[in-house]
Chain A
Amino acid sequence: MLLVIDYQMGNVGSILNMLKKIGCPARVSRDPQEIRQAEKLILPGVGAFDAGMRNLSDLGLIEVLNARVRQDRTPLLGICLGMQLFSRRSEEGVLPGLGWIEAETKAFSFAGTDQRLKIPHMGWNTVAIKPGEALFEPMPPDPRFYFVHSYHVVCAHAEHVAAVTHYGIDFCSALRCGNICGVQFHPEKSHKYGMQLLANFCRADG
């Protein structure tokens, strides 16, 4: 069973609505016992980095998540803040991240450049996919997705970058490191490409 982790960071309603629409049964839980039994995990999240880490810690989920993700290699999809929490640290906060991939989360900053871009990066933008990335099959070379964020993940290793988007700079809009996937955009609010991506994650062999 696919499990969406509810750690009180933003609503999970939209994700469940879309999973239902595409016929992927899912449960929502913050119970470590249920997380232990899940076949796949989704870590969503809207809000601040430290608040997200604090909630995971307060709910006693960090240990079970480490075990499931690092030892059991359970397929995991992080969405927005969920993806950022995989990194080691964020410029948004002081708490360490989950540290599952060698990456840091940095703020968009256009000060000192001639670019007058608004922060947060909000709206529809195109995503340039790394050839062969299974999350995005089959899609045109530059599908559009809905973004809302002020921070972005910088991977230490280029091979972990699964897709790139341009907003002032090229940033990592999707990552993959073994069983760990993350997307900076919101597939649950991105129409057919969002549905395709979630369906790909749900239906891929463990």
Chain B
Amino acid sequence: MLRTRCIPCLLLDGARLVKTVRFRQPTYVGDPINAVRIFNDKEVDEIAVLDITAHRRAEPQFELISQIASECFMPMCYGGGVRSIQQMQRLFQSGVEKVAVNTAAVADPALVTGAAERFGSQSIVVAVDVKKTWLGGYAVHTHGGRTRTQWDPVAYAREMEKRGAGEFFLNSMDRDGTGEGFDLELIRRVTQAVSIPVIACGGAGKIEDLAAAVKKGGASAVAAGSLFVFHGPHRAVLITYPERRTLEQQLD
């Protein structure tokens, strides 16, 4: 049977790996190549590498991404500052399987269609950062969470599915790095609206949270940062990943 994927989500700040809380306070957690090697040994299902400082550069850090990809013997998704088909082409050539677009997909939805036609939907992920509004609704944010858009995540997910996105990476800004558990209401709303796989991210503090995102939220895959890079109440840096049997019991 097809297994539910559990994906460590690593954040790049320059050439450093960091972890944020609610998109702030980036804490240094180590060297990306080293971290990927450890995740390799643990045979993780897939890995997502998101560059949260990519907006400061004209281009993604191709050299570093290529180095990371060459250490990945599992599928790797890269996101951060991707704005063009040419950049995607370069990323795929370096050994990346999936490219995530976030801000560029809001600004230029035709990019998603063009990319899906060129590279296949399965390799195009639309990543979205969502924050609760004062009125209890949700709003899609861009530019690393700094800019609020008029998009509701459900309408946006439908639009991106229509445009050719192969997967929807749904990140809760409110839960990021908190370990409070996923925003199941948000996940449920989006998974009920689209038929492409939804990857839930933001808030996982324990394995049971991952199970809830799948079983209660309907997510096709789960992603987490803090859960796999911190350990204990003082958030000591320790790269971990659940045993395969534990994951199968919890997620399948």
Interface residues of A (CB under 8 A from B): 10-11, 13-14, 17-18, 21, 46-47, 118, 120-126, 144, 146, 148, 166-167, 186, 188-192, 194-195
A124 to B74, CA, bound (A): 10
Q: Is the CB of A191 within 8 A of B40?
A: yes
Q: Is the CB of B2 within 8 A of A167?
A: yes
**CB 8 Å contact bits of B149-163 with A (1 = contact, 0 = none):** 000000000000000
In the assembled complex, which residues on chain B have CB atoms less than 8 Å from the CB atom of A146? 74-75
Quick one: which of A10, A17, A124 has the most chain B CB within 10 A? A124
A11 to B221, CA, bound (A): 25
CB B88 to nearest CB in A, in angstroms, measures 11
A142 to B220, CA, bound (A): 22
Which partner residue on chain B sits nearest A17 by CB separation?
B70
Which of A46, A118, A191 is B197 in contact with, Cβ under 8 Å?
A: A118
Q: Is the CB of A126 within 8 A of B1?
A: yes
Q: Is the CB of B95 within 8 A of A194?
A: no
Q: Is the CB of A148 within 8 A of B122?
A: yes
With A146-B75, A188-B73 already in contact, the answer to whether A125 and B1 are too (CB < 8 A) is yes
The answer to the question of B34 belonging to the interface, with a C-beta cut-off of 8 Å to chain A, is no
The answer to the question of B93 belonging to the interface, with a C-beta cut-off of 8 Å to chain A, is yes
Q: Is the CB of B92 within 8 A of A124?
A: no
Q: Is the CB of B70 within 8 A of A47?
A: no
The answer to the question of B97 belonging to the interface, with a C-beta cut-off of 8 Å to chain A, is yes
Q: Is the CB of B74 within 8 A of A191?
A: yes
**CB 8 Å contact bits of B96-128 with A (1 = contact, 0 = none):** 010000000000000000000000111100000
Q: Is the CB of A121 within 8 A of B2?
A: yes
Q: Is the CB of B74 within 8 A of A189?
A: yes
The answer to the question of B3 belonging to the interface, with a C-beta cut-off of 8 Å to chain A, is yes
Q: Is the CB of A123 within 8 A of B5?
A: yes
Q: Which secondary structure dominates chain B's binding surface? A: loop
The answer to the question of B69 belonging to the interface, with a C-beta cut-off of 8 Å to chain A, is yes
With A123-B3, A188-B73, A189-B73 already in contact, the answer to whether A118 and B95 are too (CB < 8 A) is no
Interface residues of B (CB under 8 A from A): 1-5, 40, 43, 45, 69-75, 92-95, 97, 120-123, 166, 195-197, 220-221
A121 to B3, CA, bound (A): 11
Q: Is the CB of A122 within 8 A of B73?
A: no
CB A144 to nearest CB in B, in angstroms, measures 7
The 20 listed contacts between A and B (C-beta, < 8 Å) are A11-B93, A13-B70, A13-B95, A47-B120, A118-B195, A118-B196, A118-B197, A120-B121, A120-B122, A123-B3, A123-B221, A125-B1, A146-B74, A146-B75, A148-B75, A189-B73, A190-B74, A191-B43, A191-B74, A195-B73
Which partner residue on chain B sits nearest A193 by CB separation?
B43
Q: Is the CB of A11 within 8 A of B45?
A: no
CB B86 to nearest CB in A, in angstroms, measures 15
A124 to B166, CA, bound (A): 17
In the assembled complex, which residues on chain B have CB atoms less than 8 Å from the CB atom of A148? 75, 97, 122
CB B208 to nearest CB in A, in angstroms, measures 21
Q: Is the CB of B94 within 8 A of A13?
A: yes
In the assembled complex, which residues on chain A have CB atoms less than 8 Å from the CB atom of B197? 118, 122
With A17-B95, A148-B122 already in contact, the answer to whether A194 and B73 are too (CB < 8 A) is yes
A118 to B70, CA, bound (A): 29
With A11-B92, A123-B45, A167-B2 already in contact, the answer to whether A118 and B220 are too (CB < 8 A) is yes
Q: Is the CB of B45 within 8 A of A124?
A: yes
Q: Is the CB of B195 within 8 A of A21?
A: no
In the assembled complex, which residues on chain A have CB atoms less than 8 Å from the CB atom of B121? 120
CB A21 to nearest CB in B, in angstroms, measures 7
A17 to B122, CA, bound (A): 22
A199 to B120, CA, bound (A): 29
CB B185 to nearest CB in A, in angstroms, measures 22
A21 to B40, CA, bound (A): 12
Top 6 nearest A-B pairs (CB, nearest first) are: A13-B95, A191-B43, A124-B3, A14-B95, A17-B70, A125-B2
CB B53 to nearest CB in A, in angstroms, measures 25
In the assembled complex, which residues on chain A have CB atoms less than 8 Å from the CB atom of B123? 46
A190 to B72, CA, bound (A): 10
